Amino acid sequence: MPIVPSPPNAGPILLREPTEGQFRRSGSLKDISPVLWRLRMRQASFKSAAFHVETQGRVSGRRTVVHEYPKLDTPYSEDLGRHAVRYQITGYVIQRWRATVGSSQHGNMDWNYDMARDKLIAALEDLGPGRLVDPYNNRIGPELFMCERYQVMESRERGGYAQFEMAFVEAGESTFTFVDIDTVSQVVGTANSSMSAVAQVLDREMAALNKPGAMTTQALPPGFASTFGPRAP
């Protein structure tokens, strides 16, 4: 519905919202174009570090293996599961004017672009996955993402402006069971067990050699006992 004309000095122009049938006062982008996708827009962020989005793309799909058989015209595509969701985002942070004295932030973004830049860099390099907020889609779910790589660019001509190229991948969850093993203790224990086993073998051999009459004619080489005969006790 077009803007309703208003007489002079009548105050703010009222717009009718076609999606909800309500009136709104002008003064923001959502009031000028009150369509649902604008009403659902959110502040983009990663691990609570806010940024603006210039362009973004999402890629996923199904992992498939195509089997093509001799003498057959019909192939078979085997489904091996879903690809991990990936986001490629071109974002930026920019210097702003302070609205009020003493205010240092605009929403959850710092007014000083360098502080917003450093906060976003710290979030991108932080260990472990985090929540990625897609400004255009609030139905991406609770999945966590990790930053595979990023690039930040600044130029003299565009002072107070830092542009980010960011690649995110779905973190998912591990299906493996991990056992915490103390490898140092294992190595020391194995070494001690081996030394004890060797010592027991040597003790048995020495005990057998030290028994009285252990050196008998049966243990001597052939012909040795018959030549020299047994020793006198």
Residue 136 sits in a domain of what CATH number?
2.40.30
31: in domain: yes
pLDDT of residue 132: 92
Cβ within 8 Å of residue 66, ≥6 positions away: 75, 76, 77, 78
Which of 170, 199, 219 finishes a domain?
170
- Both 121 and 144 in one domain: the answer is yes
The pLDDT of 28-32, averaged and rounded, is 58
pLDDT of residue 13: 45
Chain segment 41-60, per-residue pLDDT in tens: 888 999 999 999 999 999 99
Per the structure, the count of domains in the chain is 2
Whether residue 133 has pLDDT greater than 70: yes
151: in domain: yes
Chain segment 83-93, per-residue pLDDT in tens: 999 999 999 99
Cβ within 8 Å of residue 105, ≥6 positions away: 111
77: in domain: no
Whether residue 201 has pLDDT greater than 50: yes
- Both 30 and 105 in one domain: the answer is no
Give the range of the structural domain holding residue 158, as residue numbers without chain letter.
Answer: 42-59+85-170
- Both 47 and 99 in one domain: the answer is yes
- Both 46 and 117 in one domain: the answer is yes
Structure tokens at 196: 């004890």
199: in domain: no
What separation in angstroms does the CA of 158 have from each of 49, 96, 104, 151? 22, 13, 22, 17
- Both 55 and 144 in one domain: the answer is yes
- Both 54 and 142 in one domain: the answer is yes
- Both 27 and 99 in one domain: the answer is no
203: in domain: no
Cβ within 8 Å of residue 57, ≥6 positions away: 87, 88, 89
d(CA 75, CA 68): 5
- 232 CB burial (10 A radius; 0-12, 13-18, 19+): exposed
- Both 35 and 102 in one domain: the answer is no
d(CA 95, CA 110): 9
Structure tokens at 190: 């194995």
Residue 32 binned pLDDT confidence (cut-offs 50, 70, 90):
low
What's the pTM?
Answer: 0.58
- Both 52 and 124 in one domain: the answer is yes
Chain segment 203-226, per-residue pLDDT in tens: 888 888 787 765 554 555 555 555
- What length does the chain have? 233
Whether residue 67 has pLDDT greater than 60: yes
- Both 136 and 161 in one domain: the answer is yes
The pLDDT of 107-125, averaged and rounded, is 89
- Both 149 and 54 in one domain: the answer is yes
207: in domain: no
